[in-house]
């Protein structure tokens, strides 16, 4: 019997030992640095704590639920070995609400309490009206009433019922306003913080230590729902002064975790783009009737609208709106509104927000309201690999810049930034600690201010627009590491509009459109006396003449580039001949005619554009 007992005991000993749970140690972590990409951000955290001897788990809690599990990297310092790294969602951790969110929630409760009281008052008024109606018979059914008593009774009921109805109307109006106030408060709370039931992430690091002791960790990972867009302020006092270029970053983040006093870097990289070189596929040529062509889409100079929920039509603040294929974009405001200046050829927008399905939208109007569908797909737990990565040492020239949106005020304490060119990306580092809340709001960070020597000229296309556009030209602009972005234009101390700074240009000289200058007057008109249609045999000859008058009303001489065009024949039976161009240069391939003229102050010049077109009498062409 004893023999069997000991055999049974030794059989279970390995099983009991195997079933013992591995110890867990929770380490507190802090975000030290953030590299913000055009889409996404890389978070650098440090954590430390005590480790027991043997195998155990280090758990780092309270991370963003949008951590990219494939990107997690851990480096340890101490007498232990990292055996593996995993990530999972923590649905049990209590969410941290800011004081502002708590105040908004308290306001909702106060308004809700007032609504309950007002609804109770409506019930009382209803009972009061019923009581009056039940006792409206005067003197009973058998006794007659005098006219005086009847009048007094009618006046009494009229006054009392009017009071009741007036109070009911006031209460109904208050209830409607309170419903609107509650809706606004709830939308603001949604924009400021995720739902309290949403999970956070935790990283679990399995380690083996020979003895108990201290452990220090460096952790970095990619996180979604963050990014930045390049923005610029371009200021020109006059065409004789240098150009002032302020380079800004419009930063947003909805990661669920605030970035408090962190070191910020802004990179022109995008880790969400594929790194695989594209491969050319076979180009199959066929007859035109068997070939499909993509229709040309209409182009718009700007687009604006509102981002709303497809579920209930409520606005979505903090949504990211990006122009496909560019670094241009913006974030919707507290009412879901957005506005974007578009580059030439822009055709689609990508709109995204946490909790909603991203949309790719065709730009078919300058006013584009976009609805997003809620995304019910749950985040999944994925175990990831680990590795080590040394942080980069950032070096470069320190530049002091002015405070944002400061025209005449004294300069605010300047940020210090430095530019570093890596092998494939360029990063701008802000030396001073910076804080960005996880609320989807736009944060403008001044990165650089350049005083740039520029040459200026005016450009006009009078066939399309009679306004002259001031163009600033910057030579050797590639040294400034600029990206394509929206620019606010200020000329002669006044805001003149918005434009696109084309940082992706391949030209040696960067052209920046400074907007319209109505001190240059342009007029283009058709000379009807010269414009005729004649038939000679089987041929029709049509002639046209246009006069272009350019006047300089400025106090200094200006250079003006004028562009117009002749039609270009794509049919051998149609011929086009230029007759008089007032010294303009003609590109025979495109039909474009250009003039470059210098006008002193107050001077004007007339340009002529004459041409004739010949075609068969049986055909018809459209010249006007």
How do the domains of the chain map onto residue ranges?
99-137+152-192, 455-616
Q: How confident is residue 220, by pLDDT bands cut at 50, 70 and 90?
A: very high
The pLDDT tens digits for 508-561 are 788 888 888 888 999 999 998 888 888 888 999 999 999 999 999 988 889 999
Four-point Cα dihedral 40, 46, 51, 55, nearest 10: 30
Q: How confident is residue 217, by pLDDT bands cut at 50, 70 and 90?
A: very high
E-assigned strand segments in 476-508: 485-491, 494-501
pLDDT score recorded for residue 191:
61
pLDDT score recorded for residue 521:
93
Three-state SS sequence of 530-579 = CCCEEEECCEEEEEEEEEEEEEECCCCCEEEEEEEECCCCCCCCCEEEEE
Taking a C-beta distance cutoff of 8 angstroms, is the pair 337, 306 a contact?
yes
Q: How confident is residue 460, by pLDDT bands cut at 50, 70 and 90?
A: very high
Q: How many residues does the chain have?
A: 624
Which of 537, 519, 450, 433 has its CA nearest to residue 487?
A: 450
Does residue 84 have a pLDDT over 70?
Answer: yes
Across residues 463-487, what is the average pLDDT?
Answer: 86
Taking a C-beta distance cutoff of 8 angstroms, is the pair 489, 495 a contact?
yes
Cα–Cα distance for residue pair 222/276, rounded to 1 Å:
19
| Phi and psi angles of residue 105, each rounded to the nearest 5 degrees, phi first | -65, -40
Q: What is the DSSP letter of 356?
A: B
* Beta-bridge partners for 329: 322
Cα–Cα distance for residue pair 22/2, rounded to 1 Å:
33
Ordered strands of the 226-236 beta sheet: 443-452, 243-253, 226-236, 485-491, 494-501
pLDDT score recorded for residue 410:
42
Residues of the chain with pLDDT > 70, as a percent, come to 79
| More confidently predicted of 156 and 338 | 338
The pLDDT tens digits for 318-330 are 889 999 888 888 9
Does residue 620 have a pLDDT over 90?
Answer: no
Cα–Cα distance for residue pair 507/492, rounded to 1 Å:
27
Are β-strands 243-253 and 200-209 bridged in parallel, bridged antiparallel, or unpaired? Answer: unpaired
pLDDT score recorded for residue 396:
30
Q: Within 10 A of 77 (CB to CB), how many other CB atoms are there?
A: 11
Across residues 214-226, what is the average pLDDT?
Answer: 92
Cβ-based neighbours of 427, under 8 Å, separated by 6 or more: 35, 265, 266, 267, 268, 394, 419, 420
Taking a C-beta distance cutoff of 8 angstroms, is the pair 77, 216 a contact?
yes
Inter-CA distances, 128 with 52, 58, 124, 157, 304, Å: 74, 68, 6, 12, 53
Give the least confident one: 215-229, 294-308, 443-457.
Answer: 294-308
The pLDDT tens digits for 400-431 are 223 333 333 344 444 565 555 555 566 788 87
Q: How confident is residue 47, by pLDDT bands cut at 50, 70 and 90?
A: very high
The pLDDT tens digits for 270-295 are 787 666 666 777 776 665 666 665 55
Q: How confident is residue 145, by pLDDT bands cut at 50, 70 and 90?
A: low
| More confidently predicted of 97 and 458 | 458
CA 510 to chain centroid, in Å, comes to 25
Q: Within 10 A of 190 (CB to CB), how many other CB atoms are there?
A: 19
pLDDT score recorded for residue 568:
92
Across residues 462-480, what is the average pLDDT?
Answer: 87
Does residue 6 have a pLDDT over 70?
Answer: no
Which of 49, 85, 82, 76 has its CA nearest to residue 212?
A: 49
| More confidently predicted of 122 and 564 | 564
Cβ-based neighbours of 258, under 8 Å, separated by 6 or more: 435, 436, 437, 438
Across residues 49-62, what is the average pLDDT?
Answer: 91
Give the least confident one: 325-329, 394-398, 603-607.
Answer: 394-398
Conformation bin of residue 306: beta by default, left when phi > 0, alpha when psi is -120 to 50? beta
**pTM, entire model:** 0.62
Structure token pair of residue 403: 């405070």
Q: Within 10 A of 227 (CB to CB), how many other CB atoms are there?
A: 26
Across residues 590-600, what is the average pLDDT?
Answer: 94
Structure token pair of residue 397: 């020239």
Q: Return the sign of the alpha-carbon dihedral for residues 499, 501, 507, 511.
A: positive
Four-point Cα dihedral 87, 92, 97, 102, nearest 10: 160
* Beta-bridge partners for 533: 542
Ordered strands of the 320-323 beta sheet: 329-331, 320-323, 348-352, 359-362
Does residue 456 have a pLDDT over 60?
Answer: yes
pLDDT score recorded for residue 298:
64
Residues of the chain with pLDDT > 90, as a percent, come to 29
Across residues 292-315, what is the average pLDDT?
Answer: 77
Does residue 153 have a pLDDT over 90?
Answer: no
Q: How confident is residue 306, by pLDDT bands cut at 50, 70 and 90?
A: very high
Give me the chain's average pLDDT, please: 80
Does residue 214 have a pLDDT over 80?
Answer: yes
């Amino acid at each position: 019997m004893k023999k069997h007992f000991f055999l049974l005991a030794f059989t279970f000993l390995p099983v009991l030992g195997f079933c013992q749970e591995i110890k867990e140690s929770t380490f507190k972590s802090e975000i030290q640095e953030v590299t913000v990409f055009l889409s996404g951000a890389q978070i650098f955290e440090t954590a430390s704590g005590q480790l027991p001897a043997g195998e155990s788990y280090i758990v780092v809690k309270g991370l963003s639920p949008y951590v990219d599990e494939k990107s997690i990297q851990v480096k340890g310092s101490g007498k232990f070995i990292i055996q593996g790294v995993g990530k999972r969602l923590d649905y049990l951790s209590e969410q941290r609400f800011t004081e502002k969110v708590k105040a908004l929630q308290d306001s909702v409760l106060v308004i809700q309490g007032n609504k309950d009281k007002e609804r109770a008052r409506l019930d009382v008024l209803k009972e009061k009206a019923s009581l009056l109606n039940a006792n409206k018979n005067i003197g009973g059914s058998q006794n007659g009433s005098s006219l005086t008593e009847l009048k007094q009774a009618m006046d009494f009921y009229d006054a009392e019922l009017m009071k009741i109805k007036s109070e009911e109307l006031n209460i109904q109006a208050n209830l409607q306003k309170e419903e609107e106030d509650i809706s606004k408060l709830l939308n603001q709370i949604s924009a400021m913080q995720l739902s309290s039931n949403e999970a956070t992430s935790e990283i679990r690091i399995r380690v083996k230590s020979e003895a108990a002791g201290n452990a220090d960790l460096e952790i970095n990972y990619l996180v979604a729902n963050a990014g930045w867009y390049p923005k610029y302020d371009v200021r020109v006092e006059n065409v004789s002064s240098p150009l002032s270029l302020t380079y800004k970053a419009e930063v947003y983040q909805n990661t669920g975790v605030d970035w408090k006093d962190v070191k910020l870097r802004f990179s022109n990289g995008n880790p969400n783009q594929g790194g695989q070189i594209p491969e050319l596929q076979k180009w199959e040529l066929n007859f035109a009737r068997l070939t499909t062509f993509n229709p040309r889409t209409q182009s718009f100079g700007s687009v604006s609208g509102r981002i709303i929920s497809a579920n209930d039509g409520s606005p979505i603040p903090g949504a990211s709106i990006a122009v496909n294929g560019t670094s241009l974009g913006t974030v919707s405001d507290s009412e879901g509104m957005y506005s974007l200046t578009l580059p030439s050829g822009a055709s689609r927008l990508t709109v995204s927000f946490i909790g909603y399905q991203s949309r790719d939208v065709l730009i078919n109007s300058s006013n584009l309201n976009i609805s997003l569908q809620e995304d019910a797909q749950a985040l999944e737990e994925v175990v990831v690999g680990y590795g080590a990565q040394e942080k980069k040492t950032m070096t470069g020239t320190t530049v002091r810049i002015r405070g944002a949106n400061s025209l005449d005020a004294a300069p605010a304490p300047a940020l210090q930034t430095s530019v570093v060119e890596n092998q494939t990306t360029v990063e701008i580092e802000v030396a001073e600690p910076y804080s960005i809340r996880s609320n989807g709001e736009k944060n403008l960070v001044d990165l650089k201010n350049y005083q740039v020597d520029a040459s200026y000229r005016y450009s006009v296309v009078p066939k399309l627009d009679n306004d002259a556009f001031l163009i600033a030209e910057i030579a050797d602009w590639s040294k400034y590491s600029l990206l394509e972005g929206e620019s606010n234009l200020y000329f002669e101390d006044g805001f003149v509009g918005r434009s696109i700074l084309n940082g992706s240009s391949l030209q040696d000289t960067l052209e920046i459109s400074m907007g319209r200058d109505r001190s240059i007057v342009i007029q283009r008109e058709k000379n009807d006396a010269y414009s005729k249609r004649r038939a000679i045999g089987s041929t029709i000859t049509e002639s046209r003449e246009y006069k272009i008058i350019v006047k300089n009303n400025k106090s200094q001489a200006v250079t003006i580039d004028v562009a117009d065009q002749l039609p270009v024949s794509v049919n051998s039976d149609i011929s086009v001949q230029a007759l008089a161009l007032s010294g303009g240069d003609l590109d025979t391939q495109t039909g474009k005619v250009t003039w470059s003229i210098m006008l002193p102050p107050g001077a004007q010049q007339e340009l002529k554009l004459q041409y004739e077109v010949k075609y068969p009498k049986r055909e018809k062409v459209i010249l006007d």
